[in-house]
Amino acid sequence: MIERYSLPEMDEIFSDVARFSRYLEIELHALDGQSIVGTVPSAVASACRARAPKVDETFVHAVSQREAITNHDVAAFVDVVQERIGGPESAWVHHGLTSSDVVDTAWCAMLRDAAEVIDAALGELVGVLVREARNHRDTPMIGRTHGIHAEPTTFGAKVALWALQVDRDRRRMKAARFTVAVCKLSGAVGTYSNIDPRVEDHVAQAMNLRAVPSTQVVSRDRHAEFLYACASIADTVEMIAVELRHLQRTEVSEVREGFGVGQKGSSAMPHKRNPISAETLSGLARVVRGNLQAGLQNVALWHERDISHSSVERIILPDTATLACYMVKRLTRLVANWEVDATRMTENLEATRGAIFSQSALLALVEAGMSRDAAYRAVQEASRTSHESHTHLRDVLATMPAVSSVLSAARLEAAFDTSRVLRHAGRAVDALSELD
């Protein structure tokens, strides 16, 4: 991942040092397991663990130099480990294993750890959204469909629905963590031809993974599920980001991203305050979704394995995990520091001079005995007149004989009562109690 969007907690999981550390951990656990079942002398396993090299940048460089000769990264890794351990004991390193035993188990451990980091970030985002939803439970604003003013809603209801969706994404990530937290040390085509299955069980237990049946590789639908969970998170983040971009438009100006001291919105126009975080999040969502497509294509491999998936995964697995986490954290900061303009929300509610209560007026007329079609036509005509004459819809309706003959002034007034329309809007916020 490029530095701009990298995260230290993800770098610690996916760096070359971390990856080779996982490889070495697996090799040593495998030796321990083989010593337990009697394949490898216990003294050999103990000596290899005692003389195991420190995995640092120097070690990584040595593997890179060796790979230039072997043209095989795992073989190069094993060569360097054996060289550093030395003695006859090192010959037992990688005994009975194939490269995928090490690589796939390492990937699964790394993805499990990444899922836990993402889960924690999602928990923080849910918490901030819940707080904001409850703070704005009774903050009225206009609801929009097709980008057009529809009926009143509350900002709290809008944010509550976001929180509930993020929580669903969190559950998807937890499920993906379970799916991907697996282990395989079953040899060249997964038949345990040269390794005891009990060794796989030992490594799985030592690494807090589950041993699963496999071919030479762990089935890539597991990785695709992890990538889907990340893509679903990215979609949710983008959904929120797109809404915030609309709400920050000059003509709307209901919610604005926080603006730091010394921040500049434009290199040319000093007045500009742009929704840069929301726009960045929209863009990054495209990358994460694209990576899912590549991950799905990795599922279909030749026979018991090929390596067409390998080059793809080196890019998309760490990048997707990192981007998903970065997006969640950046959205959390955005929500925690946004500026909600309740006054502007009220102004926008009143901008159409009562047109947003057209359904309430329609239903009042139907309840008063008018046919639905006649009531619809009356309110539709009144809405056009209201718009053209810049007159409140309630006042236009009051002048129409067809309306005043069936509807009292009090009943007409009640149809335009915001509190009545929003009397149940808090249900979405109340649903957040299930997240506590």
* Predicted structure pTM score: 0.95
> Residue range 196-206: average pLDDT?
98
> Residue range 105-131: average pLDDT?
98
Whole domain around residue 204: which residue ranges? 98-261+270-350+424-436
**436 pLDDT band (50/70/90 cuts)?**
confident
pLDDT > 90: what percent of the chain? 95
Ranking 38-42, 123-127, 196-200, 262-266 by mean pLDDT, the lowest is 262-266
**pLDDT value at residue 266:** 81
For residues 114 and 141, state if they share a domain.
yes
Q: Which of 338, 404, 336 is nearest to 127 (CA)?
A: 336
User: Model confidence over 388-420: pLDDT tens digits?
Assistant: 999 999 999 999 999 999 999 999 999 999 999
For residues 379 and 278, state if they share a domain.
no
For residues 222 and 82, state if they share a domain.
no
For residues 384 and 290, state if they share a domain.
no
User: Model confidence over 248-258: pLDDT tens digits?
Assistant: 999 999 999 99
> Residue range 24-42: average pLDDT?
97
**pLDDT value at residue 178:** 98
Q: Which of 151, 326, 134, 330 is nearest to 244 (CA)?
A: 330
The secondary structure of residue 52, as a DSSP letter, is P
> Residue range 28-57: average pLDDT?
97
Residues in a beta bridge with 256: 339
> Residue range 281-297: average pLDDT?
97
**pLDDT value at residue 169:** 98
For residues 155 and 234, state if they share a domain.
yes
**pLDDT value at residue 267:** 81
Q: Which of 146, 271, 303, 390 is catalytic?
A: 146
Q: Which of 36, 71, 95 is the last residue of a domain?
A: 95
Residue 146 appears among annotated catalytic residues: yes
**pLDDT value at residue 429:** 97
**265 pLDDT band (50/70/90 cuts)?**
confident
For residues 83 and 102, state if they share a domain.
no
Count structural domains, the chain.
Answer: 3
> Residue range 115-130: average pLDDT?
98
Q: Which of 60, 95, 130 is the last residue of a domain?
A: 95
Sign of CA dihedral 32, 33, 34, 35: positive
> Is the per-residue pLDDT at 328 higher than 90?
yes
For residues 70 and 178, state if they share a domain.
no
**pLDDT value at residue 122:** 98
User: Model confidence over 76-105: pLDDT tens digits?
Assistant: 999 999 999 999 999 999 999 999 999 999
For residues 224 and 369, state if they share a domain.
no
**pLDDT value at residue 264:** 83
**pLDDT value at residue 270:** 85
Contacts of 160 (CB under 8 A, 6+ apart): 129, 130, 133, 428, 429, 431, 432
Q: Cα–Cα distance between 316 and 84 in angstroms, integer?
A: 32
Q: Which of 42, 64, 193, 266 is catalytic?
A: 266
CATH number for 81: 1.10.275.10
**pLDDT value at residue 1:** 83
For residues 303 and 156, state if they share a domain.
yes
Helices (H), 305-417: 308-337, 342-349, 358-367, 372-389, 393-398, 401-404, 409-415
For residues 102 and 117, state if they share a domain.
yes
For residues 1 and 131, state if they share a domain.
no
Residues in a beta bridge with 144: 149
For residues 146 and 282, state if they share a domain.
yes
Q: Which of 34, 65, 95 is the last residue of a domain?
A: 95
